[in-house]
Amino acid sequence: MASIALENLAHSYLPNPGGNNDFALKEVNHIWEDGRAYALLGPSGCGKTTLLNVISGLLTPTSGRILFGDKDVTASSTAERNIAQVFQFPVVYDTMTVGKNLAFPLRNRGMEAGYVSERVQRIAQMIGLEADLHKKARGLTSDLKQKISLGRGMVRDDVNAILFDEPLTVIDPHLKWELRTQLKSLHREFGHTMIYVTHDQTEALTFAEKVVVMHEGRVVQIGTPKELFETPAHVFVGYFIGSPGMNFIPVSVTGNKAHINGNTIHLHHDYGNPQGDILLGIRPEFVRLSKSDGLPVQINRIQDVGRHKFINATLFDTEINISADEGFEIESDMVKITFDPANMGIFCDDWRLNGKAIDHGNGGTV
Amino acid sequence: MEKTVNQRAWLLVLPVLVLVAFSSIIPMMTVVNYSFQDSFGENIFFWVGLEWYQELLRSERLWDALGRQLLFSFIILMIEIPLGILVALSMPKKGLSASVCLVLMSLPLLIPYNVVGTIWQVFGRADIGLLGRTLSDLGISYNYSQNAFDAWVTVIIMDVWHWTSLVALLAYAGLSSIPKAYYQAAMIDQASRWNVFRYIELPKMRGVLMIAILLRFMDSFMIYTEPFVLTGGGPGNATTFLSIDLVKMALGQFDLGPAAAFSLMYFLVILLISYVFYTVMITIDKDEAKQ
Amino acid sequence: MSLRLHGVSKISSGETHIYPTDLELQKGTMNVLLGPTSSGKTSLMRLMAGLDKPDTGKVFWESEDVTKKRVQDRDIAMVYQQFVNYPSMTVYDNIASPLKLQKKSAAEIDAKVQEMAELLKLTSILDSKPNEISGGQQQRCAMARALAKDVGLVLMDEPLANLDYKLREELRLEIPRLFEASGSIFVYATTEPEEALLLGGNTATLWNGRVTQYGKAMDVYRNPVDETTARVYSDPPMNFVSVRKDGAVVHFPNGQSTKLNDDLARLPNGEYRAGFRAHHLEMSDGQSGAIEFTAKLIVTELTGSDTYIHVNAMDERWIGLIPGLQTVEVGQVLKISLNPKNIFFFDKDEQLVASPNHEPEKSGV
C-alpha cells in the first residue's frame, strides 16, 4: 500500500484543449494518504468519474503526474497500478462460482493454489460470502454481486487502493446502509486506501473520513464531514451539503459588521473590507424565528414534515429557508429572524473568507 | 367474484387462425393425405396405409441422405460458429470503419441462393473458373463434378462463404452489448486475452450464439438450392442431401405418395431436433441461473 | 369529480399484487401512495389509470363505471420514474403533443405551452431536445406534458426517484404548486415518508398489496392504525420494544421502568409493544421525564446535517436520528434517552391503542 499523490493533474477529453473550460478536470494537487477513506462528492458532470478513471489508469491525464508512493505511475497501465475498482453495475464473471470469481485475480497472477484457496476463504469470510462460495455468481442478487466485485479487489494483499464508482446505484434502498456499514467496518479492520465516488451526500459523509467536493471540474473543498457542514469553503459546498442547503444573503461587510438594507448584523470575526460579491451564508438550522428581535421577513410557506418544520420566507428580496424543531410553535406574529452568530460565514466571489479572530484551518483558499 | 371474462377476445384471434389454416394446415393435410395413398395419375388413388412410411424407413437411400445431411450440418456448424465469432472479435468496435465493415459483412447475405450456387459453379470450374483453373495450374487435381471429396469441400466452402456473416453479425451484436466496465475489471484483474474471451465475451454472447446455431442448423438441414445448382446432388449421390433427394423423388420420379411420406418425416425430424435443441438450451439456462 | 375503487384487486400469475381495496379520491385532492418498493403502489396506480383491468371490483369515475373503459378514452395523465419524452421533438413540441391530439387551435396550444413552461421553468429551453437538457429538466418537461392537457386524474409514479437529491428538493417544492394550479385529482407514489408529508394532502400507506390506512397526511403520521403503518410512515422505520404496563408504570425488558402520564395510565394493564420514531431518541441525557438507556453503538451514518445512530438496546435494534454531525466511535456504549410522551402503544394484535398527544396545529401564518 502507498499514498497516492496528484501533481498538477488535469484532464481534457479534447485533443487540443485551449481555455480552462475545455478541461473536464481542472488542475488538482492532492495527496491521498495511505489507509484513509475518501469520498469524491459532486453532482453529475462535475468531473469526479474523470478523476477516478485517471487514478485507476483507465484514462491518461492531459497534464500532470500521479505518484503511488514515490513511483510515477502516470504512464502505467491499470494492471500495473495494483488497484481495485468496484463499478456502478456489478461486474462478475457469470459462469464462475463465487469462489472462482474471488480467486481469478490471483490465478491470473500465477499464485500457487494453496495460497489462493486460503486467501479466498479469508476474504469470503470478511465480506460474508463464505456460504455462497460454491454458488454460480450469475443467479445472485446485485448486493451480493457487488460484494464479489469488492472481494476480487481485496483478495490481492498488495492492492494499493480500492476505488468505488457509485457502487450502490443498483442496490435496494434498504440494503444500502447495510452495505455502507460493512464497507466502513472493512475499512476500519483492514486499512485499505479507499476512494468512493458518489453524488449522494449521505453516502459520502457516512463513508469517508475526508470528503473531496467537486464542482465544474474543480476540487472546491477537501474536509471532514463536520468541516463541510460548518465551514463550507465555497458557496457550492454550502448549497450541496445539507437539505435544504445553506442560505446566501447579499450583504456588504466592513470589519465585523454585515450590512443589509440599513440593518447591521454583528459577526464573530473581523473580515476587513472585502470587495466583490459578498454573501452572508447561514444554514436553515441556525436561523431562528422570533417575534421582536432581528430582521423582518415575510413568511411564504410552512411545511411540517414531522420531525421538522420547514419555513420558506423572504428577507429583502432573498428567499431563505428556516428549519425549526418539531416542538417549535410558529405563531402568526413571528415576523423577525435572528442568525446564530457562531454559524455565519462570509463569502466573497463564491469563496469563504477567513475572519481574523479564529482560523479554521481549511477554509478560504482565495 | 365479479371476474370479467371477455368472450370477444376469440374473435380477435380468428383472422390469424384462418390465415394459418390456409397457409399451413390445409396444404399439410393434402400432403398427409398423399402419404397414405398410391396414385396412378388421372387422380386415381388407393389407400395404402403406412406402407410408404415402412418402405422409406427400410430404404437405404433415405438413411444415406440423412447421414450426409447430418454430417454436412455438423461440419458447417463446426466451421461457421467459431469463424463467425473470430470475425466478430476482430471487427472494429465503433466509428466509420465499423459501419463499413457491417455493410461488407452483410453483402453475401443479400445474394440470392441460386446466384450463390452459380457463382461457385463458375468459380470452381477447372476449365474457366478462377479457383478451379488456379488449382489445376498448381498441379492440384480438383474437380467438383467428378470427385466426391472435391464436391463436398466446395459445397462446404460455399456455405461458409455465404453464411458465416450471419453468425458474425449476431456475435457482433452480442459483443457490443457488453458494458465497458467488464473489460476494465478484467484489466484490473490482469485477465489474459483468452480469459477475457472465455469468462466475459463468450458468456455474454451465449444467447445470440444459441440463436445462431439454431438458425444455421435448421437452414443447413434444409439446404437445397446451392448444392443443386452447383452439383445437382452429384457426383453420383455424393451431395444428394435430404431435400434434393425429396425433389428427385417427387418431381423426377413423380412418386407422390413416398415423397409426401418423406416430406412429413423430414418435417418431423427438423421439428424434433430443433425442439430437443431448444429444450436443452433452456434447461441449461435455467440450471445455471438456479445454482 | 371523484375516483372510487370498489373492492378492486389484482392477481397476476398466482401472486396477489393488490388485495381487494376500497378507496375514494375527491376532486382537487393530493393523494400520496406511500410504501416501500413492491408494496403495490404502481399496481394500484395502473388499476386507477385503467392500464390494468382489476380481477375483481369496479372503478368509478364520478358515478360512471369505467372499469372496462380504455385508457385512451379516459381523462388521465401519467408521469413515470423514467423521464419519458419524445426524443426527436423539442421541449415545446413535447408539451404541445397532447394538445395537438386534442385538436386545439394553434393559438390555444401556444398559450398553454407558454403557461406550462412558465410554471415549470422551461421557458428558456423550449427549443432544446430532451437529450440536450438535464435529468431534472427532462422530468419537468414530462410533467408539463402530463399537465398540459388539463385532465381530471394525474398519476405520478415516483417521479423524483431518478434525480439527484438537490434536484429532488427543488422539484418537491414545485409539485404542490402544480397541483394547486391544476385542480385535478393527483395521485403520487413515493417510498419516502418525508415526501408524503411535504406534499401534504392525503396519504394512503401500502404494505404487501394492502392499503393499511388512508387519511390526512399528518393524521396518519401521528396516529398510524397499526405497527405496519407506523413502520411505513417513519424513515428510518419506527423502533419497537415489548413492554409491560402496570398501573401508571411501564416496565422495559431490561428491568427499567418509567412513569406514564395520566392519559396513558388509563390503558388496561398488560403487555404492549412500545414504538417510537428515530428522531425521538436522544443522545443528551434527557430533559426531565426522559428514560435513559444504555445502548451499544453499531453504526453511525451522517447525512448533511444529521447523524443516524444504529444501536443495540434491550435485545432490539434501534435507529436514532440525532441533529448535527456527531463524532462517536462505533462499538462504544452510549447513554441514550427517550421521552415517554413520544411513545406509541400497540396491542398484541399490532393495533394502535395510544399515540403521543400533539398540540393542535397552528400553521395558519
Q: What residue of B is the nearest CA neighbor of A162?
A: B188
Q: Which of residues 49-88 of C touch A (CB under 8 A)?
A: none
Nearest to C301 among A43, A174, A202 (CB): A202
Tell me the shortest Cα–Cα distance from A189 to chain B, in angstroms. Answer: 23
C-alpha cell at C19: 388485495
pLDDT tens digits, one per residue of B173-227: 889 888 888 988 888 888 889 999 989 999 888 888 888 888 898 888 888 888 8
Q: Are A213 and A225 in contact (CB under 8 A)?
A: no
What's the pLDDT band for C285 if we cut at 50, 70, 90?
A: low
Nearest to A162 by CA among A104, A85, A262, A91: A85
- What is d(CA C215, CA C227) in angstroms, rounded to the nearest whole number? 16
User: Among C330, C243, C321, C218, which Cα is nearest to C278's?
Assistant: C321
% of chain A at pLDDT higher than 90: 22
* Closest CA relative to residue A66, chosen from A47, A80, A45, A85: A80
Q: Which residue of chain B has the CA closest to C10?
A: B3
In a domain? residue B41: no
Q: Residues 4..33 of B with a Cβ closer than 8 Å to C: which?
A: 4
- A145 contacts chain B (CB < 8 A): no
Task: State how many domains chain B has.
Answer: 1
Is residue A364 scored above 60 in pLDDT? no
- Cα-Cα-Cα-Cα dihedral sign, residues C218, C220, C222, C223: positive
pLDDT the model gives residue C230: 93
Cβ contact A152–B189 (<8 Å) = yes
pLDDT reported for residue A363: 40
Q: Does B58 touch chain C (CB under 8 A)?
A: no
Q: A84, B291: Cβ pair inside 8 Å? A: no
CB A62: neighbour CB atoms within 10 A? 19
pLDDT tens digits, one per residue of C182-233? 888 999 999 889 899 989 899 999 999 999 999 999 999 999 999 999 999 9
Q: Name the residue facing A85 among B184, B195, B289 (closest C-beta).
A: B184
- C-alpha C132/C-alpha C117 separation (Å) is 17
Q: Any chain A CB within 8 A of the CB of C304?
A: yes
Torsion of CA B3, B8, B13, B18, to 10 degrees: 140
Residue type for B61, please? R
In a domain, B46, yes or no: no
Q: Is A285 in Cβ contact with C305 (below 8 Å)?
A: yes
Give the mean pLDDT of A288-294: 86
In degrees rounded to 5, what are phi and psi of residue A203? -60, -45
Cell 477475457, located at residue: B196
Eight-state DSSP code of residue A268 = S
Instruction: Read off the amino acid at residue A300.
Output: N
Interface test with B, best of C16, C55, C66, C69 (most B CBs within 10 A): C55
Q: Is some CB atom of chain B closer than 8 A to the CB atom of A170?
A: no
Measured between beta carbons, which residues in chain B are less than 8 angstroms from residue A136?
288-289, 291
Q: Which residues contact C123 (CB under 8 A, 6 or more apart)?
A: C114, C117
Contact B4 C53 (CB under 8 A): yes
Chain position carrying cell 380477435? B12
What percent of chain C stands above pLDDT 90?
29
Contact B216, B72 (CB under 8 A): no
Is the alpha carbon torsion for C52, C53, C58, C62 positive or negative? positive
DSSP assignments along B137-177, one per residue:
HTT----TTT-HHHHHHHHHHHHHHHHHHHHHHHHHHHHHT
Question: Do the chains contact at A306 and C304, CB–CB below 8 Å?
Answer: no
Plot region of A280 (φ>0 → left; ψ -120 to 50 → alpha; else → beta): beta
A111 CB within 8 Å of a chain B CB: no
Domains and CATH numbers, chain A: 4-235 (3.40.50.300), 247-357 (2.40.50.140)
List the grid coordinates of A125. Answer: 469470510
Residue type at position B281: M
A-chain CB neighbours of B187 within 8 Å are: 58, 77-79
Over residues A69-98, mean pLDDT: 87
The span from the CA of C297 to the CA of A293, in Å, is 41
Higher pLDDT, C22 or B259: C22
User: Domain range for residue B98?
Assistant: 61-290
Q: Is A59 near chain B, with CB under 8 Å?
A: no
**Which 3 state secondary structure label does DSSP give A89?**
coil
B50 in any annotated domain: no
Q: How many beta-carbon contacts under 8 Å exist across A and C?
A: 98
Could you tell me if C329 lies within 8 Å of chain A, comparing CB atoms? no
The 10 Å Cβ neighbour count of residue C166 is 17
Whether the Cβ atoms of residue B246 and residue B262 lie closer than 8 Å to each other: yes
Q: Which element (helix H / strand E) includes C91?
A: helix C91-101
Task: Report the alpha-carbon distance of residue C343 to residue C236 in Å, rounded.
Answer: 16
Q: Is residue B84 part of a domain?
A: yes
Q: What are phi and psi of C349, to 5 degrees?
A: -90, 15
**Chains near A (3 or more Cβ pairs under 8 Å):** B, C
pLDDT at C342 over 70: yes
| Contact predicate C55/C16, CB 8 Å | no
In single-letter form, the type of residue at position A148 comes to: I
Neighbours of chain C (3+ CB pairs under 8 A): A, B
pLDDT, residue B263, reads 82
Distance from C-alpha of B6 to C-alpha of B8, rounded to nearest angstrom: 5
Interchain proximity B203–A94, CB inside 8 Å: yes
Kindly report, residue by residue over C319-335, the tens digit of the pLDDT: 999 888 787 877 888 88
DSSP state, residue C350: S
Continuous segment of H or E residues that includes residue C24: strand C15-26
Q: What does the pLDDT read at residue A249?
A: 92
Residues of B whose CB is below 8 A from C55: 3
pLDDT at A331: 82
Q: How many residues are there in chain C?
A: 365
Mean pLDDT of C30-36: 92
Residue A212 has pLDDT above 90, yes or no: yes
Q: What is the pLDDT of residues A42-61, one digit of tens each?
A: 987 788 888 998 998 888 89
CA dihedral defined by C44, C47, C53, C55, rounded to 10 degrees? 40
Confidence class for position A271, pLDDT limits 50, 70, 90: confident
Residues of B in contact with C19 (CB under 8 A): none
Which residue is closest to B189 within chain A, CA to CA? Answer: A105
Helix ranges (DSSP H) in chain B: 9-20, 26-35, 51-58, 60-90, 96-110, 113-124, 130-137, 148-176, 180-188, 193-196, 202-221, 225-230, 242-247, 256-290
Q: Is the pLDDT of residue A343 over 70?
A: yes
C139-152: average pLDDT: 87
If DSSP codes are grouped into helix, strand and coil, which group holds residue C41?
Answer: helix
Interface contact flag, A303 C197, Cβ < 8 Å? yes
Please indicate, yes or no, if residue B274 is contained in any of the structural domains.
yes
C-beta separation of C61 from C74 below 8 A:
yes
Q: Is residue B213 part of a domain?
A: yes
CA distances from A217 to A40, A74, A237, B43 (A): 12, 20, 14, 86
| Per-residue pLDDT band at A237 (split at 50, 70, 90) | very high
C113 has pLDDT over 80: yes
Contact at CB, B188 and A56, closer than 8 angstroms = yes
> Are B227 and B76 within 8 A, CB to CB?
no
The mean pLDDT of A181-209, rounded to a whole number, is 85
d(CA C329, CA C341): 29
Q: Are strands A193-198 and A37-41 parallel, antiparallel or unpaired?
A: parallel
Residue B119 lies inside a defined structural domain of this protein: yes
Residue of B nearest to A136 (CA): B291
- Position A195 scores a pLDDT of 92
Name the phi and psi angles at C359, rounded to 5.
-60, 145
Which residues in chain A have their CB less than 8 angstroms from residue B188's CB?
A: 56, 78-79, 83-85, 105, 153
Out of A200, A283, A329, whose CB is closest to C165?
A: A200
Query: Stretch C343-348: mean pLDDT, rounded?
Result: 90
Q: How many Å lie between the alpha carbon of B175 and the closest alpha carbon of chain C?
A: 26
Is A95 part of the contact surface with chain B (CB cutoff 8 Å)? yes
C321 CB within 8 Å of a chain A CB: yes
DSSP state of A35: T
Q: Is the model's pLDDT at A357 over the cut of 70?
A: no
Over residues C74-87, the mean pLDDT reads 86
* Those residues with Cβ within 8 angstroms of residue B77's Cβ, 6 or more apart along the chain or in another chain: B213, B216, B217, B220
Low pLDDT (below 70) residues in chain B: 1-9, 40-42, 252, 254, 285-291
Residue of A nearest to B290 (CA): A139
Please give the C-alpha separations between residue C157 and each of A36, C81, C149, in angstroms, as whole numbers: 40, 6, 18
Nearest chain C residue to B6 by CA distance is C68
Beta carbons of B2 and C56 less than 8 Å apart? yes
Q: What is the rounded average pLDDT of the residues A186-190?
A: 82
pLDDT greater than 50 at residue C253: yes
Query: Grid coordinates in use for C173?
Result: 417544492
Q: Is C37 within 8 Å of chain A by CB?
A: yes
Q: What is the CATH number of the domain that holds B227?
A: 1.10.3720.10
User: Residue A33 pLDDT more than 50?
Assistant: yes
Residue B167 within any structural domain of the chain: yes
